[in-house]
Structure 1
């Protein structure tokens, strides 16, 4: 489809120009019908009412012919043009019109001296304004009739806008995100507060008890900085066959745990239960499974905390969340503190190698996600070339 002298770039533009072309033809047809109606009236017989009327008409005709001899009337008189959304000067300023419109006929001498203060860009001469140029208006009217400028007819864009609904652009994630509930239950709106603590502000990680699927764990780490829930492979292997069969491929990578991004084994969704006596709550959470050593079993990130409406206070060493029976409070158990102490020591030992027996306090940090075979080979290689390292000040001179 070729409209207005060039190919439309989009379907919407093509439909708009087609609609404009139709509106332009309708406007021209209406004008032609009006002309035919006026000519029919002018040719109809008129009854004479008296000789004085014929005398007046003869006198007026004589005066009219005399005035025409002095100032010939412009052809614009009696001719109507289609209402447009732009003025002739604005239409002429577009590149399409400049390229497609043929040059106009020269102005007659009688009109060249009408007004020296105005300049017509269409004729490129002084004498009148382009908005008053009859030839330009006529050329534009022809272009409207041919459909080249029909999109400028008043009302076309408004009509196109009426049938177009409001567009809402949304960005959707590939991962399935549960829809938020429109209305919260009354018990979910309970007030959560933290009283002053006598022990002073704490800084230990929040490691609490939880039930993940069918397994209980004392090593669920509440991490307010994690963007997802993480399950470590050693805990995943303890799940039942039915639960492990839910593992699905994951296209994301995990950053922040190791020095390099980690490729997960997959992801799975399990029911998670946090409780304090009779106050408990169960929510399904999606875990990303990774295969690096850790003293934690799972990490509950921000999505899981939001699912339980958790209020986390590291300074109080407490996690609170609403249940149907009231506010539940979770605090790290003694076993959790022991796990945390072991975690620091074991992780330090696993991530650092002794490659020079003379300086056992100086260790080399390595990636904990490396396999045991790779780790052993790396340790032998570094030990063999340990002399290239500077172990003391004398080695640096």
Structure 2
């Protein structure tokens, strides 16, 4: 038919060809017909040009059009089988061009290849491709997990008051038969933190602490040395939906508005789901879903306490600074041992001056003045 052609080089049998295999497309020995890449490329090209449509798998919608599996035109005539051939020869009429038998195909990018990673010659690229070892990975089957009840949030879980509230999630926990309030739920913390005052109020001793060699680092990058770590049994929820699990706390000896920070490790072990809008967290229990609700009043009191601590720190800094200045005024200021002269640092700003000793050698005085003028922003 003349629609398939390939160069004569394809007919040459490679020196390492397998004489037992035969290709009916070329025809020649060396490879099977099913392995012939040239044939596959030609078939793909013919499909893109509109040929071989009768061999392509059609959708159910096309099968429902009629017994001949063809789409009928408005006048009842089927599609012209010679349309692909006419389109190839440029003999389509205006009507045939205006009514194509199939929508135009979109351009597809399958893969981008090339570049010198595999080598600059075919032999180098083949060697590079075969150098990749592909091993079979055997993975053990997943452990069967117990089916859990779905956790959902509804409008009944919303807190009282206006929405949005912008409050943090502060809940209560039970440790050693003691209810601990001011527990901050913080998904941004990689550790569970217990402050030293809470540690002592729980009746715990330093002998129960395990050594922690890695300091904690906060938002500002400052490091805090820990007192140690302790593992405690924690209970959350209200009966009967209560869950008890062990939590590793890192104890730090600093003052904070909260008693405990519940970080990602404890939250993941709890298997909880948090909703900041509803200001509560829910977790699975053997008899249903448990709920721990946030207390907005306690959260805002923690916020106010933290703000007061910040203000006190600022006042302390100002008081120390003023006290140091007053102490300096009691002592006589140092005076130069030799006479000095004023040197203008910036000619455009005559008020910016420094004093230089007059007893310096001339060359040294010139170098000093040039140096000071070069860094006048520092010395002025």
| Higher percent of residues as strand | 2
| Higher percent of residues as helix | 1
Of structures 1 and 2, the larger Rg is shown by 1
Q: TM-score, normalised by structure 1?
A: 0.42
Greater RCO (Cα-Cα under 8 Å, separation 6 or more): 1
